[in-house]
Amino acid sequence: MTRPLARLPKGLNDYIGTGLSLHDHLIAKLSEVYRRYGFEKLVTPSVEYADALGSYLSDHDSASTPFLFKDDDAQPLILRYDLTAPLARYVAQNFAGLSLPFRRFQTGSVFRNDKVEPGRFREFTQFDADTVGSASVAADAEFCMLISDSLSSLGLKTGDYIVRLNNRKIINGLLDLIGAGAGAIGTARYLGVIRSMDKVGRLGLEGVKHLLGAGRMDKSGDFAEGAGLNANQIDRILEFLSFSVNVPVMERAQTCKALEKIVIGSATGEEGVRELMQIDAILAAANFGSDRVRVDPSVARGLSYYTGPVFEAELTFEDPEAAGKPQSFGSVGGGGRYDDLVESFLGFGVPATGVSLGVSRLAAALELRNLLSKKIERGPIVVLVLDRDMLTGYQAMVSELRNAGVPAEMYLGDKDMRSQIKYADKRRSPYVVIEGSREREKGVVAIKDLSLGKQISGEIGSYEEWLKSPAQISVQRSDLVKEIMDLLDPNAPKMSAAQSHML
């Protein structure tokens, strides 16, 4: 019999330690903000009937395919590829009993059976919120605030991020005016124009000019086909986009006025501007200035299903890991208004708007910005075992610490003292507790500071060497809990040993 090879499936990951702490910290912080905004958590299964998730995925990304399989009744099943399609299924299934507007947030793994590339995984975490059943632009305004407050809650400062806001109606109004709307040039070319406009931040006006026209060859020699617009059409679009590259940034109301002039004559475009003006007023009433949420005509969002306001959260500090020249960290999420949420199920649309944040991207950004508190990373206190027949004494120490709320463990392996300290160090333990026969006779225990003693811990091979090492203190056995708590948090209110014993 051959042995199986212990290995992770392609494109999947295990998570443990600091990376996982950061991920959990981020989920907790975002959940807190989303709840404060009145969104309620929903959990749906990872597995759905394939037909009930519909075909959003093809719109997401043509290179993406879902994982498909069957249950015992041979019903086609699918691992969810996003959190929006399950929301549509949930809303349609429970529509009669649902109290609208339905405001839910949801986080969890989504799966794509995609080509595996560096930084591209087959399971990743999304964090979504949607408001279903509200046609009010106040719902869109709320998401711009929600994203801003979410990023602030993670420790990012105003200036580290910007929420860029636009309206598909304005883009559509402009394109209608210049004869480049979906009706005039077909949906595929129209989407090509939309996606080209979305790239102005990365390629600049000159790059977009080529993409709108004959096409563009990048540095690697790859040729991207152009949308084939004429010179006049291209000029009008570039004029429109020029408001997105303005430095210093214009106030939202000022940008709206400029855009109004460009789309005048298109009812759709004018309505789009009016909506942005309403959003601006709501944002202003809530004290969100243009330094946090700005109007940016280049925000188009690639998906075809958006129908109104669209927004994108961008981190503006530099990412040294970015390919090629230094550039801003870029998008960590976004969203917008879409009205076809439950249409495929129920035959009628329901107005909806929502946002999705990419948790891994955000985690990478927080690491880059060093915004992870040291406290998250701390491991348990490890009580070393020097005398195997004294287990009950060591266990009593561990129990006292745990009862006082301090994470602690007794070393449960069978290695020597040096290995035990190495083990504790690897567990990110801040302190180890040591009681040998000499300490026991005197009624004391030694506490060793692993962060201070890190550089020398490798040299300690025996109990005798230990006695001579620095970075340790000797305390009365009865004061162990008090002393450890003082060391862990010198500013915390004090508790007597007797009290901690009674907990």
The answer to whether the bond into 86 is cis (omega within 30° of 0) is: no
Residue 182 interacts with a second copy (CB under 8 A)?
Answer: no
The answer to whether the bond into 101 is cis (omega within 30° of 0) is: yes
The token pair that represents 171 in the structure block: 């883009």
| Residues 110-129 as x/- pattern, contact with a second copy by CB under 8 A | -x-x-x------xx------
Q: Nearest approach, Cβ of 69 to a second copy (angstroms)?
A: 3
Contact indicator for 289, 164 with CB cutoff of 8 Å: no
Candidates 203, 410, 488, 495; binder of a second copy (CB under 8 A) is: 410
Q: Give the E-state strand segments of 436-479 in sequence order.
A: 444-449, 472-476
Residues 6 or more apart whose CB falls under 8 angstroms from that of 312 comprise 163, 164, 299, 301, 331, 333, 334
Q: Nearest approach, Cβ of 129 to a second copy (angstroms)?
A: 12
| Stretch touching a second copy by CB under 8 A, among 84-92, 168-176, 224-232, 492-500 | 84-92
Candidates 221, 320, 324, 413; binder of a second copy (CB under 8 A) is: 413
| Residues 354-393 as x/- pattern, contact with a second copy by CB under 8 A | -------------------------xx-x--------xxx
Show the DSSP H helices in 301-405 as ranges. 343-346, 359-368, 391-403
The DSSP letter of residue 243 is: G
Pick the closest to residue 42 from 130, 123, 124, 145 (CA basis): 130
Candidates 22, 26, 81, 101; binder of a second copy (CB under 8 A) is: 101
Candidates 203, 277, 281, 368; binder of a second copy (CB under 8 A) is: 281
Q: Phi first, then psi: what are they for 290, rounded to 5°? A: -70, -10
Q: Nearest approach, Cβ of 467 to a second copy (angstroms)?
A: 25
Could you give the CA distance from residue 43 to residue 77 in angstroms, rounded to a whole number? Answer: 18
Residue 14 interacts with a second copy (CB under 8 A)?
Answer: yes
∠ CA 61-63-69, rounded to 5°: 100
Pick the closest to residue 421 from 497, 376, 472, 370 (CA basis): 472
Residue 71 interacts with a second copy (CB under 8 A)?
Answer: yes
**Count of residues that interact with a second copy, criterion CB under 8 A:** 108
Residue 136 interacts with a second copy (CB under 8 A)?
Answer: yes
Residue 220 interacts with a second copy (CB under 8 A)?
Answer: no
- CB nearer to a second copy: give 103 or 361: 103
Residue 399 interacts with a second copy (CB under 8 A)?
Answer: yes
Contact indicator for 449, 455 with CB cutoff of 8 Å: no
- CB nearer to a second copy: give 199 or 422: 422
| Residues 327-356 as x/- pattern, contact with a second copy by CB under 8 A | ---------------x-xxxx---------
| Stretch touching a second copy by CB under 8 A, among 262-270, 325-333, 355-363, 405-413 | 405-413
Could you give the CA distance from residue 240 to residue 294 in angstroms, rounded to a whole number? Answer: 15
**C-alpha dihedral sign at 321, 322, 327, 333:** negative
Contact indicator for 247, 204 with CB cutoff of 8 Å: no
| Residues 427-466 as x/- pattern, contact with a second copy by CB under 8 A | x---------------------------------------
The token pair that represents 283 in the structure block: 């944002």
Candidates 26, 88, 299, 365; binder of a second copy (CB under 8 A) is: 88
